[in-house]
Structure 1
Amino acid sequence: MMNPRYCSQDLIRCDLCETAMVQMYCDFCNVKLCITCIGQHISDAYDKHKVVPFKQRMSTLIYPKCAVHENKRNKFQCLECDMWVCSMCISSETHKWHAFKDLSAINKSKKESIRREADELNDILSPTYEDIVSDIQSQIANLDVEYENLSVSIMQRGEEWHKEVDTVINEMKHEIDEMKDKHLDILKKHLEEIIQIQSLVRESLLTLNKIEKSNDVSVTLAYNSNSKELRNLPPKIQILRPNFNAKALLREDIQSRFGSLTPLSISTQEDGYYERKQQHSERQFLNVHELVSTINTGYHNLQSICLSAEDELWTSGRVSDVKCFNTQGFLLKTVRTISGEMPNDIALTSHGDLLYTDWKSMSVNEVKKGQIEEVIRMHGWTPVNLCVTASGDLLVAAYSDDQTQSKIVRYINSTEKQTLQFDDDGKPLFSGNNFIKYIAENGNMDICVADNGAPAVVVINQDGKLRFRYDGHCTTTNEGFHPFGITTDSRKHILIADSNNHCIHILNEDGQFQVFISIDLCDPWGLCVDKNDHLHVAELISGNVKKIRYLKSSSGYP
């Protein structure tokens, strides 16, 4: 009988006693443990052990070792020196007064970017290349029939001329065979090129999947994307096969009057495959959007909403109370602003703490463990809307005291690092007034601003360069475009609330209009998207938050 310890269906055993069933795991030592052996494993008094339930193994990030301080790990990036540092490096004279970022936040941001890239490769680029290959293979499969039909036409013509035209027919058949060989060679060569690129797509997907499963920060941060090259689809080769032009049957001058073949026509079309790519992109959207649930917040003027990682819904309106609800709509907690005035906007830090802007004190405040702390005080400017980026930076939209200028400021650890106000020609990027300017960061690091005073959506890259403006799309109500809330999803779509037209506009990352969402919406204002790409819409007057499904399911989504 087979020893049950070595049976393929045996349970996983403890690495120490080798008999008991595994229940725990040391994430630092990579050792499987039963409950009884935990004490023995940690008895060496080494303070780095991290014992977690077996199902949660490998949850600890593996940071790179510090080259300066032995037994220390680099958990931060010095923004001044552009290098990784440990906690001891931070307190050293070398990095005194420097600003730092958590490597965990940078790692999380890049992991999200990698996941989105994998989605694009899996959902759009890979199917597009499959279609291209299928198209070329179909052309090759039909090539014999098409050229055979051409040969038959010539033979039928030749029978009318009998033996007098045999020589001419043979010459033309030879010419056809040469053109066919050339046609075939071109298609095969093109097919080989496409298959090579398709192989790169598969290799990229395998690499991305490995990185997603890896906890090695160095591997993640060292990854360089090649999707930019893959997005540039190859030109489509267009080959027009020759036609046979028959002439009147005359015995004299047989060669010239028998007919001729058009030459093999070969051309390339740069955007020949673009339509296929667009079709795959458009397949992401549901034909009929689904209203999943509705939560009534009790506000009469609901403006801003945001979701925590635990799916807790934070809401604010034109009162001093900020409310937090669970997914069933039960009120969990309430936070009141220090000034007693309504917050202009709310957001959540990467740690899940609440941020809100206070127009009266011209400040941005953070709520930690029930205590409110001022983190930014602006002078001569009033903060309006805000956004926390994937890397943990804070973007704040503000207007000047005289309400003639607007700007967006990037803060890192409460330190101002970037100001976005003018384009390359020195012209204002935003309308100079106190109108709402909701902000969202896209997956490509673009900063998307819903400038209600313009009215337009202004999209700027992370270097502050204007990418495009969106002035609205034709609607059925013709009320004009007035953007309010704005958000983005995992597929880099930009979603904009248009309260006047009671709908949501969806753009792709390059500003091209995709589709409207108008399912049972009235006065949509604030927007946010959860981790499953469900859209949450705050209705201004009713105070309802509506959860909407608008994307088709794909890998990684319910």
Structure 2
Amino acid sequence: MDLKLPSTSQDILRCKLCDTPMPPLYCQLCDINLCKTCAGDHLVDETKEHKVVPIKQKWNPRNPLCPKHTTKQCDFYCKQCDNPICALCVLSGEHDQHKKIDIFERKIEKLENEIHELEHSIYPKYEAAASDIKTKKDDLKTNSKKMRTIINEHGKLWHQELDNIIKSLLSEINDNESEQLDIFESEERKIHLQMNKILENIQDLKNLVSSRDAHLVPEYITKLPEFSELPPQLHVVLPKFMPRPFHKNLFGHLKNCCVRQEFEFWCMYNAKNNRNTNQYVQ
């Protein structure tokens, strides 16, 4: 199979870990391109097995070596044993009753299985997830619109109730003012009436004194008792507005809103297939 390296600027090879262009190395088991610096760090990772080779081998894959005949490459795959085998294994007769296929065909079969898993299992789940997100976005927008309407309507009710409270308090102030003014004005009229009488009496007395009338002076009867009861002192308690602290929570509040992620992993192969895949699917 004669495969060529990518040639366009869009397909330029880059290190998977640091994005350096034209990396010279490739990890066969992890299927990632690596620059020299990242390759060293990659090999230090002991959580899994690595096989770093020159990147040219990425397009010229070799069949795995036979575990029994270590100098031979495996050209066949034994379905019963679920393992790659070499020509010497076939000649040994150990696999005579087993179904054997060309290892390249086995690789094609694995790739076709992977395509099937991607097309019929994984991709539909991504489609469903994308559709679910769209639905949830629509639900979020619909709910937000509904909440805005509810809050605005609730606000209008509060404004209306607040206006009613203000009108009631202002009316109470006006009524109280009118009632108190009536009392003040009534007392004021009485006082002015008495003041006029007092002034008239003063003038009469002055005229009597000036006349020195021997007949009228002795007969004068004092009017002091009439004016001795002084005007009452009016004690007024003026109304005072006692505002209460404003608490915004009295209006209402929103319950917490959040997006919670739940991850799901799709197992394409069983543990045995996963182990074998690392051995011969490149």
- TM-score normalised by L of structure 2: 0.37
The structure with more helix, counted as a fraction of residues: 2
Higher RCO, 1 vs 2 (CA within 8 Å, ≥6 residues apart): 2
Whichever structure has more strand as a proportion of its residues is: 1
TM-score (norm 1): 0.21
